[in-house]
Amino acid sequence: MAAYNAPLRDMRFVMNEFLDPTRLRALPGCEEITPDLVDPILEEANKLCSEVLFPLNRTGDEEGCHIENGVVRTPKGFPEAYKLYCDGGWGSLSADPEYGGQGLPRSVAMVFEEMMCSANLAFGMYPGLTHGAVAAISKHGTTEQKVTYLPKMVSGEWTGTMCLTEPQCGTDLGLITTRAVPVGDGTYRITGNKIFISAGEHDLSSNIIHLVLAKLPDAPKGTRGISLFLVPKFLPKEDGSPGQRNGAMCTALEHKMGIKASATCAMSFDDAVGWMVGEPHRGLAAMFTMMNEARLGVGIQGLGLAEVSYQNAVAYAKDRLQGRGIDGTKHPEKPADPIIVHPDVRRMLLTMRAQIEGCRALAMWTALEQDIAHRHPDPAVREAADDFVQLITPVVKAYLTDAGWDGTAAGMQVLGGHGYIREWGMEQYVRDARIAQIYEGTNGIQALDLVGRKMGAHAGRYLRRFFHPVLAYIEEKSEDAAMAEEFILPLSKAFGRLQSATAEVARRGLGDPFEAGAVATDYLRLFGLTALAFCWARMAEVALQQQDDPTGFYKAKLTTARFFMQRILPQTSALSAGIMAGGKTVKEFEEAAF
């Protein structure tokens, strides 16, 4: 039946061999981040995820959350699991020690996040939103807000939410109608309705801190008039404990396709007491601190679900007997061969594996650049790292969640009819994965962000943070006989297509923004494939240096790299052709004809 164990060997490979660990250990506060310190953390994380969280995944999905008079109950076992999570300090891994955090780098915490997403995505939603709320308060909050809220949120005693969407508007936040009226004592009264609020109400923590977008009475129209407010479920007393109930209430739970153990709430704010976070009418900028964290986290959700689906698909394919190999019997001692001998099953499994391992490398590379952007003493180095993170965030969010959807669907397909029924657990991964392509900005919005904002930012400075290292690597390794034909040449061709597409999209977009928007999704996928090709070339380079390894790990890594280059990367050719064709056929189709 279904099982999960963290892919610790591959995670360590990415952390210690694919990435340059000296870059991390050169950062202030990271000098002791060595395998001796990190490996025991990963081992314990795997125990929590595989032994505590994973067994609750299916039962939580079947039971779901329940609401009675505004009180939400999470599934059986969730409160106890959350207590173990908090007692183990798992929510504080990368938090600031000033507020009770352990101060570990983001790149270490991200590994645990992937495990939790694989083991029980719905459970991970509760502390996951808290991390983003902590980031927003840390960057934009007052000293008093930080002292009052951050220690309890870091410990997990209190959790956080992000309240953006309203019934009449989703992505277009300029249309929100939630109002914030100043009282004159530094507080505001918040009134309005929000929907799709993950972890908006539950029984895991003693307080819930809502970060709410609202408009002041004198607010300008549109997004320029949005402010951000901190609205606790219970107003803190002087001693910091939860006091009087605030005017924030869950009025309904959404009935969803997946992540059913995660409470997705409709929230009503009725004259609720709130405090402004950041500057008036600057709430969207403050909220983006939280959203960018969330977008990277959502990418990890896609990765985590693809990984657990892959593990169970492999186990089934090795065990399920059906037919004989089309090129001859492989297991004559058995009444039939296991389906893993069949070429299409192997194709699906290798596609899943190549995408998962490439996405893991890209995500952890991004996390390392986050650490550098936050910790490096040189402002110019911090800026360069942050530029890269800004550029790659929409790619990580969209490409990894697309890979999660494709991967879970492929995993279900490997099991055939057994994958479609609940007993084997595979259909839940498909249902859970689908939302990741939608929330925190749909993947189409991510593509528009990449093309419309990131591509031209600072006269192309963001793009150069990716383009220059890739070009330098191609030039450096083009004469390496072991690398050139199998890895550098395919990477070079894909990178050339990306360069040409970038120039064409920028040129056409200047004359007609619709042109850029019409090909944005194809462009983001082209970008993602090229980024993974760069990661795979570098991983292959490491593996080539370990040919004598008796475990077979590096041999498998090389074979997977070749599969990616030969069977997945050629998609860039079709994407390039579609981008070059432009958006004319999209634009000219009559609206009435749809």
Q: Please determine, for residue 171, whether its predicted confidence score (pLDDT) is greater than 80.
A: no
Q: Please determine, for residue 133, whether its predicted confidence score (pLDDT) is greater than 80.
A: yes
Longest CA span, the chain? 83
What pLDDT shows up at residue 169? 84
Q: Please determine, for residue 1, whether its predicted confidence score (pLDDT) is greater than 80.
A: no
Q: Please determine, for residue 515, whether its predicted confidence score (pLDDT) is greater than 80.
A: yes
- Which of 427, 440, 504, 541 is an active site residue? 440
Q: What is the CATH number of domain 159-281?
A: 2.40.110.20
What pLDDT shows up at residue 542? 97
Rounded CA gap, 227 and 180, in Å?
9
User: Which residues on adjacent β-strands are paired with residue 236?
Assistant: 242
Q: What is the pLDDT of residues 231-282, one digit of tens each?
A: 999 999 988 899 999 999 999 999 999 999 999 999 999 999 999 999 999 8
With a pLDDT cut of 70, the percent of the chain lying above it is 100
What pLDDT shows up at residue 248? 96
Rounded CA gap, 105 and 93, in Å?
8
Mean pLDDT computed over 492-518:
95
Mean pLDDT computed over 197-222:
94
Rounded CA gap, 554 and 300, in Å?
24
Q: What is the pLDDT of residues 546-585, one digit of tens each?
A: 988 999 999 999 999 999 999 999 999 999 999 999 999 9
What pLDDT shows up at residue 285? 82
Sorting pLDDT into bands at 50, 70 and 90, what band is 292? confident
Q: Please determine, for residue 519, whether its predicted confidence score (pLDDT) is greater than 80.
A: yes
Give per-residue burial for 28-37: e unless 16+ CB within 10 Å, then b. eebeebeeee
- Residue 324 buriedness (CB in 10 A; 0-12 / 13-18 / 19+): middle
Give all strands (DSSP E) within 186-237, no chain letters. Answer: 188-198, 207-215, 226-232, 234-236
Q: Look over the chain and give the mean of its residue pLDDT values, rounded to a whole number.
A: 95
Q: Please determine, for residue 5, whether its predicted confidence score (pLDDT) is greater than 90.
A: yes
What pLDDT shows up at residue 31? 95
Read off the amino acid at residue 472: A
What pLDDT shows up at residue 435? 97
Q: How far, CA to CA in Å, does 414 sit from each of 6, 344, 562, 585?
A: 21, 9, 22, 37
Is the alpha carbon torsion for 231, 233, 239, 241 positive or negative? negative
Q: What is the pLDDT of residues 21-71, one digit of tens each?
A: 999 999 999 999 999 999 999 999 999 999 999 999 999 999 999 998 889
What pLDDT shows up at residue 426? 97
Q: What is the pLDDT of residues 388-442, one digit of tens each?
A: 999 999 999 999 999 999 999 999 999 999 999 999 999 999 999 999 999 989 9
What pLDDT shows up at residue 44? 97
Q: What is the CATH number of domain 8-140?
A: 1.10.540.10
Which range is least confidently modeled, 220-229, 272-281, 373-382, 553-562? 220-229
Rounded CA gap, 130 and 123, in Å?
13
What pLDDT shows up at residue 283? 87
Sorting pLDDT into bands at 50, 70 and 90, what band is 173? confident
pTM: 0.96
Q: Please determine, for residue 291, whether its predicted confidence score (pLDDT) is greater than 90.
A: no
Q: What is the pLDDT of residues 331-348, one digit of tens each?
A: 999 999 999 999 999 999
Our answer to whether residue 307 is catalytic in this structure is no
With a pLDDT cut of 90, the percent of the chain lying above it is 91
Give per-residue burial for 60-83: e unless 16+ CB within 10 Å, then b. bbebbbebeeeebbbbebbeebbe
What pLDDT shows up at residue 96? 94
Rounded CA gap, 96 and 154, in Å?
9
List the alpha helices (DSSP H) in 88-225. Answer: 106-140, 143-155
What pLDDT shows up at residue 288? 80
* Cβ 107 vs Cβ 366: under 8 Å: no
Nearest to 531 by CA among 395, 401, 351: 395
Q: What is the pLDDT of residues 313-331, one digit of tens each?
A: 999 999 999 999 999 999 9
* Cβ 294 vs Cβ 441: under 8 Å: no
Nearest to 435 by CA among 527, 532, 305, 307: 305
Q: What is the pLDDT of residues 454-503, one digit of tens each?
A: 999 999 999 999 999 999 999 999 999 999 999 999 999 999 999 999 99
Q: Please determine, for residue 290, whether its predicted confidence score (pLDDT) is greater than 90.
A: no
What pLDDT shows up at residue 172? 78
Sorting pLDDT into bands at 50, 70 and 90, what band is 136? very high
Mean pLDDT computed over 443-461:
94
